[in-house]
A = this chain, B = another copy of it.
Amino acid sequence: MTLKALFLNCTLKKSPAVSNTQALIDLVAGLMEPMGVECETVRLVDYNIAYGTESDMGDGDEWPEIYAKIKDADILIPSMPVWMGVRSSLCQLMCERLDGSYRDLDPRTGQYPLYGKVVGVIVTGNEDGAHDCCATTLYNFTHYGCTVPPNADCYWVGDAGPGPSYIEAGQGHLYTNRTARFLASGTVWMANMIKANGPIGTNLIELTAEAQKVSTDTAPAG
């Protein structure tokens, strides 16, 4: 049983500029491949991604190509730099575009297309903000249907204030090297388990119908 992992690099820098986030992706992907995982990276800034919250915004929008890769993967690793303490604009853009997946439902269970996938997260920054980036992004992906295994994040940040980035700092930081291994091990274990035991049993259509019986309003199903 081969797993596919998709790393979504949300750096602000177009290819072929050096990306610190890519360096940490390469570390984690290099750990996953010997576990039998096929790894691919999409660098979002190299695509023409429209602003919006639908899966296809037309007019040269290249998000559908990325969305197809997302739907095809077993493990998703949104990977991002921190800017001003917050995940990069391209990571936010990706999360906005995934809103479209809420309207792309399994006809029997109502599950969204990311149901049953496993998510982990990679963050690089000069100094601070990794926890907020990880927490927000992992949480968003659980809304889209992903599962978060234990220790599913790996990040590098330096001391307070401006300073060297991940590559310049030498890539020798033990905490980052440990959590890279925890991330790889945890996501692969969980993806294998879900693949062997799935699909996840929650039937969103039936549960919504039950909820409607005891509710006084009629919010849309999104």
Query: A-side interface residues toward B, CB under 8 Å?
Result: 12-14, 45, 51-53, 83-90, 92-93, 95-96, 99, 115, 127-132, 134-136, 138-140, 142-153, 155-163, 170, 172-182, 185-186, 189-190, 193-194, 196-197, 200-204, 207-208, 210-212, 214-222
Contact = CB atoms under 8 A, between A and B. Distances in A.
A212 B160 contact: no
Given A45-B51, A155-B160, A215-B177, A135 B128 contact: no
Nearest to A147: B149
Contact of A172 (B89, B151, B217): B217
A140 B131 CA distance: 9
A64 to B, nearest CB: 17
A95 B86 CA distance: 10
B173 A185 contact: no
B146 A173 contact: no
A150 B200 contact: yes
Contact of A145 (B92, B150, B219): B150
A99 B12 CA distance: 13
A54 B30 CA distance: 33
A159 B130 CA distance: 11
A200 to B, nearest CB: 6
Given A86-B136, A135-B139, A186-B200, 10 more contacts: A14-B51, A83-B95, A135-B140, A138-B138, A142-B149, A142-B150, A160-B173, A163-B220, A170-B216, A189-B200
